[in-house]
Amino acid sequence: MTDLERLRHSSAHVLATAILRIWPEAQFAAGPPVEGGFYYDVELRHRITPEDFPRIEAEMKAETKANHVFERVEVTRDEAIALAKEGRLAALGARPEPSKFKLDIVERIPEGETITLYRNGDFTDLCAGPHVMRTGNIGAFRLTHVASAYYKGDERNPQLQRIYGTAFKNKTQMDEHFAMLEEAKKRDHRKLGAEMGLFAMDPEYVGPGLPLWLPKGTAIVEELEKLAKETEFAAGYVRVRTPHLAREKMYQTSGHLPYYAESMFPAMELEDDGGARASSPHSEASSLGTSSEPEGRMPSEAGWKPALPIADRYYLKAMNCPHHHRIFAAEPHSYRDLPLRLAEYGCCYRYEQSGELFGLMRVRSLNMNDAHIYCTEEQFADEFRAVNEMYLKYFSIFGLGKYQMRFSTHDPEKLGQKFVDEPELWKKTEDMVRRVLVESGIHFVEVPNEAAFYGPKIDVQVWSAIGREFTIATNQVDFAVPRKFGLVYRDRDNVEKTPLCIHRAPLGTHERFIGFLIEHYAGNFPLWLAPEQVRIITIGDDPALADYAKAIHRELRASEVRTDIDLSNDPIKAKIADAETAKVHTMLVIGHRDLEAGNVSVRLHGKGNVGAKPRAEALAGILAAIRERRG
């Protein structure tokens, strides 16, 4: 737990203390720190609304001013149960009613596990911690909103009130946070995407979570693909293409079935008469994020049962790696062929829960900047380092100055459950990854128990221009699945060996990455990436001006510059305002003086007029900026 998470965890206890001083009968369930703040779930007859916040916050301020110590106390299981039955847990003292949610939690704690309480002043709570030293260490806080939540997320349980808040070390940090949130609302990719005509969602006809890329959005997609293809070609990658579905046998072999059945679309079962029908082996599915592989977890096999012969069942692909493994297997390989770097912008389909879908950030169809590198152990360090360097190149291009690599490792106690049961290979590959990161001087944090099921991984966190954190991409090591597919190469001694496989997706998916870029740039894309790069605007409707503008338009279009032309007789201020609203990067304004001198007057979106330039010079500058991916 980070220092900020610790502070917010403590703030949740202060919130509970305050609520109890106003409503002593309140029953509390869970109160953890979460991204952006904290919450506490409470059962209370009174319906808390934002109108209650000033009163609650006043009590919270009194508690922080009292500067009570957060005292950790270990108790036995029987002692904790007795306190819960007396109503003393998540309470200011004994009460007529038991602390029912805390009692339920205590009774579910495994035998032998340490049980701890935390006290601040009169408030005592069942809690594993940790906390700040004193309530006075909480410098600034604010309650933000109220929601409803079922106890433990189960609709069969009581519905509770979830009170959200946030906290910081000081008021300055908190003010900056809320200023960022206000700016984030303006930059919301769903809002800007609609205003700029980049993408559309059509849940009625196409389906939820299945974005439609409009022409302007497709221009961004194709620019990103062009960047990736050029970069990967220079790095020695070869491009492949794979189908959007495969037989059940593919995913049984890889291990994605049965472990990820709930995160895949239902199987298509081919009947004897050649007809097809969809059969769902799962209920609402869990989310998978944006990495080239689903998150490292191995859910229960319950609910997944092959009903027909393997050859008769097909699945939409949720990941590209099994197809790439079969491409590797299609031809014999020797050590001379390695490393083999297979790249594809592959379209995958993942059955995200409907409640998890969110604009472009969480979707059910995703186009992934995917590649798989097959290499020997001796080649691994150089290949892994090269992938990390590719990330850094992209960060520079997109102006991402703040980033962090999250190095996710396994939990030895969960081998054979959540992670492949290969303890020696886990240690070996984790040591290899750690060594490369340290030697490369890359800032990273190590996170246990978050690896993919087949090997360690790196999740790439980046911060947008306004300080919002996003998970963009992933880099994973796979020592298990190639062996399942029987992938081999012959070494110098003509001995068959299984290659290591590096899964990497530096630009993540089009959907998530473009959603991030919309918010990062606030829709004001650099020239090379802008949906409409240039608009030529005439002052008036003189035919001679129109001819001059059309000639420039043809010249730019011949160089594949996304150019439009406004020959209307609208006032020039209205034409410029329209281009600014459309976030056109560069405006070439043409009047009679420009025509006579062979010039164009250049305006940049958000920056205004930068002066008249000779036509050839202005156009050459535009082409150079696009080619070099500047501004």
432-445 pLDDT, tens digit each: 999 999 988 888 99
- Per-residue model confidence (pLDDT) at position 281: 42
340-380 pLDDT, tens digit each: 999 999 999 999 988 788 999 999 999 999 999 999 999 99
Q: Is the pLDDT of residue 293 over 70?
A: no
CATH number, position 293: 3.30.930.10
| 50 in the same domain as 149 | yes
- Per-residue model confidence (pLDDT) at position 420: 81
Q: Is the dihedral of CA 83, 85, 87, 93 positive or negative?
A: negative
CATH number, position 137: 3.30.980.10
| 377 in the same domain as 307 | yes
206-240 pLDDT, tens digit each: 999 999 999 999 999 999 999 999 999 999 999 99
Q: Is the pLDDT of residue 586 over 50?
A: yes
What is the b/e burial string over 120-153, where b = at least 16 CB atoms within 10 angstroms of the residue's CB?
A: bbebbbbbeeebbeebebbebbbbbebeeeebbe
| 385 in the same domain as 326 | yes
Residue 157 lies in a domain: yes
What SS3 string covers 519-586?
A: HHHCCCCCCCCCCCCEEEEECCCCHHHHHHHHHHHHHHHHCCCCEEEECCCCCHHHHHHHHHHCCCCE
Q: How many CB atoms lie within 10 A of CB 309?
A: 11
Domain around 543 = 534-627
Residue 309 lies in a domain: yes
Distance CA 251, CA 318 (A): 10
| 143 in the same domain as 47 | yes
Distance CA 272, CA 438 (A): 57
How many folded domains does the chain comprise? 3
Backbone φ and ψ of 104, nearest 5°: -60, -40
Residue 187 lies in a domain: no
Q: In 3-state terms, what secondary structure has residue 505?
A: strand
Structure tokens at 362: 């969480």
Q: Which among 442, 507, 463, 464 is positioned nearest to 230, based on CA atoms?
A: 507
- Per-residue model confidence (pLDDT) at position 453: 80
Share of the chain above pLDDT 70, in %: 94
Average pLDDT over residues 17-39: 95
Q: Is the pLDDT of residue 174 over 90?
A: yes
| 232 in the same domain as 368 | yes
| 113 in the same domain as 140 | yes
Is this model's pTM higher than 0.75 or not? yes
**Mean pLDDT estimate for the chain:** 91
- Per-residue model confidence (pLDDT) at position 307: 52
Task: Tell me the pLDDT band of 280, cut-offs 50, 70 and 90.
Answer: very low
- Per-residue model confidence (pLDDT) at position 301: 44
- Per-residue model confidence (pLDDT) at position 288: 33
Structure tokens at 263: 């995160």
Residue 360 lies in a domain: yes
Q: Which among 530, 631, 544 is positioned nearest to 594, based on CA atoms?
A: 544
Q: Is the pLDDT of residue 201 over 80?
A: yes
- Per-residue model confidence (pLDDT) at position 261: 87
Structure tokens at 134: 């004193």
Q: Is the pLDDT of residue 278 over 60?
A: no
Contact 267, 277 (CB under 8 A): no
Residue at a domain's end among 144, 169, 194: 169
| 60 in the same domain as 8 | yes
480 vs 137 pLDDT, higher one = 137
Rg (CA), the chain: 29
| 282 in the same domain as 239 | yes
| 516 in the same domain as 623 | no
What is the enclosing helix (H) or strand (E) of 80? helix 77-85
| 105 in the same domain as 243 | no
Task: Tell me the pLDDT band of 146, cut-offs 50, 70 and 90.
Answer: very high
Contact 461, 291 (CB under 8 A): no
Residue 231 lies in a domain: yes
Contact 478, 501 (CB under 8 A): yes
- Per-residue model confidence (pLDDT) at position 540: 87
Q: Is the pLDDT of residue 408 over 70?
A: yes
Q: Which among 426, 401, 431, 400 is positioned nearest to 413, based on CA atoms?
A: 426
305-321 pLDDT, tens digit each: 555 444 489 999 999 99
Q: Is the pLDDT of residue 290 over 50?
A: no
| 146 in the same domain as 43 | yes
Q: How many CB atoms lie within 10 A of CB 617?
A: 12
- Per-residue model confidence (pLDDT) at position 285: 35
Residue 347 lies in a domain: yes
- Per-residue model confidence (pLDDT) at position 283: 39
Which whole-number Å values give the CA distances from 152 to 91, 162, 252, 336, in the listed order? 20, 12, 32, 55
CATH number, position 549: 3.40.50.800
Residue 271 lies in a domain: yes
Residue 426 lies in a domain: no
489-522 pLDDT, tens digit each: 999 999 999 999 999 999 999 999 999 999 999 9
Residues 6+ apart with CB under 8 A from 515: 189, 193, 359, 360, 361
Distance CA 585, CA 579 (A): 9
Q: Is the pLDDT of residue 578 over 90?
A: yes
| 539 in the same domain as 514 | no
